[in-house]
Amino acid sequence: MKIDIYNYSEVYRAMFQKMESDKNAIQEFEGLCGDGPILEIGAGTGRTLGFIKNHECVMLEKDERMFAILAEEAKSFPNVEILEGDSRALPFEKEYFSGVYLAFATIGELNPICVTLGEIHRVLRDDGKLFLFGMNPESFVPSHLGIFRAKELKLKDFSVVSNTFTIRDQGMGEAQTHLSVKVPGASSHFSVSQYFPTIDQWKILLDELGFEPLNSLDSQRGSGIISIIAKKRMGAKIYANQKQQSGVSQVYDSLSLSYESFTKDSNYGVPRWLSAQLAEYRGMHPLIVDLACGVGLVGKLIEVEDVKPNFLYGYDISQGMVERCRELSVYNSVVRFDISKGLPGIGALRVDVVTAFGLMEFVADCEPILYEIRRVLCLGGVALLTFELSDSEAGSTVQELRFGDASVKRYARPQHEIESLISKIGFDIISATKELGYRSPTTGAEVNYLYVKAKRTEL
């Protein structure tokens, strides 16, 4: 067999096509699924073909070369349908599948993980099941088999050095697998970046995105592998922490249908400032994460300014706002997520621009969120932020507001305190401008924002 050593899909197929270490676990998972099709995300070149026997199985793969191989391999499996697509925007209707699985270590390459999980939740039927394998970054010890990996795998036409390195400087869970492929007189090199959450981060991700684990995660703390079986929560129980959430989600749920007129009446200042910041990204195709995305203000301005992002992801604590934002069809994906829990589903050094408008005034301690924003930004990446300014230079102020049954605390901070915190986190402040944030629709009082543009310039 002639191997094109510059084709990663062929190398991958030769190395992993016969691996069956997760076969029994996937077949046990199939037994938990009800009637209805099962989806595999990241099917690659078809390594798991035949694992699912009693359900229709849809196998999704986004890599063009791997998909071509998968198409050939799948022809002899009548229960399998193959589809080319991306886990971050699954091409399926709501509540279509009885189960979704991701085979060994696949989840590590699907960044942001939280976006993929949000899409899985959307396409799963009520009480549908999720199954995945991931590496445990707290216990995983990579093997360094070097050139002998080829002998282990009985590769006939080429040899391969395959090593995985953990990159703790980027953060817990960051890893890269390097493959050096050799034939007489030629060689090629591939690297695959991966990000695996810790067990505690998985608990947050599953809880926030509407899943209930069916197996114990704590019992796996000493293992190098994390195996997760979970079910989709149904109806009002979709978010386990719903009763414990602050009033912020309730307030914005109630405003979701009228938010455009609400911001128009308040002379909201963010669009004026943000438009000038976005203009420089025309033709740059940045990966943008929009925190507290609301009904999609950032997405609308991106269209107006003719910025064509590589990807645009939205996060918001309000399910009502998430549904409105999805209607725009501007964002690649939008998920409901409590950002005060951090950004555990995004690996380090991935994002070009993070926006966070109207968020920090609802957060008592901004430091953890700012650390997370910096962690996910690439070198040269930019954070575009607003902070509500305090009239008192002596320190922060807290105002408690009531909206019906909901109570919301708003935090205003002096400029020197905001700038000191941002610098402490490790950002370079490019600009910090005091301008009108909004005018209260009820009292008419003007509220000033500090508009901050900050850059990550160092590891």
- Residue 233 is encoded by which pair of tokens? 């929560």
Share of the chain above pLDDT 70, in %: 94
* Beta carbons of 407 and 401 less than 8 angstroms apart: yes
The answer, yes or no, to whether the previous bond of 112 is cis (omega within 30 of 0) is yes
- Chain segment 221-279, per-residue pLDDT in tens: 999 999 999 999 975 445 544 444 568 888 888 777 777 776 776 788 999 999 999 99
Q: What residue has token string 């022809």?
A: 75
Cβ-proximal residues to 247 (8 Å cutoff; 6+ apart), any chain: 403, 406, 407, 408
**Parts of the chain belonging to CATH 3.40.50.150:** 8-137+196-237, 245-455
Nearest-angstrom CA–CA distance, 38 and 86 = 16
> C-alpha angle with apex 54: 48 to 59, nearest 5 degrees?
40
Residue 405, amino acid: D
Is 177 exposed, middle or buried, given 0-12, 13-18 or 19+ CB atoms closer than 10 A?
middle
From the centroid of its chain, how far is CA 295? 19
d(CA 204, CA 176): 24
In angstroms, the CA 136 to CA 192 distance is 17
How far are the Cα atoms of 236, 253, 415, 421 from residue 287, in angstroms, in the given order?
33, 27, 29, 25
Between these two residues, 220 and 160, which has the higher pLDDT value?
220
pLDDT tens, 344-366?
Answer: 889 999 999 999 999 999 999 99
Choose the most confident range, by mean pLDDT, from 107-111, 155-159, 389-393: 107-111
Q: What is the CATH number of domain 245-455?
A: 3.40.50.150
Q: What is the pLDDT of residue 343?
A: 92
Pairing of strands 377-388, 351-356: parallel
CATH class name, domain 8-137+196-237: alpha beta
Which helix (H) or strand (E) element contains residue 9? helix 8-16
Over 90: is that where the pLDDT of 395 sits? no
Element (H, E) at 149: helix 148-152
Q: What pLDDT sits at residue 236?
A: 43
What does the pLDDT read at residue 140?
85
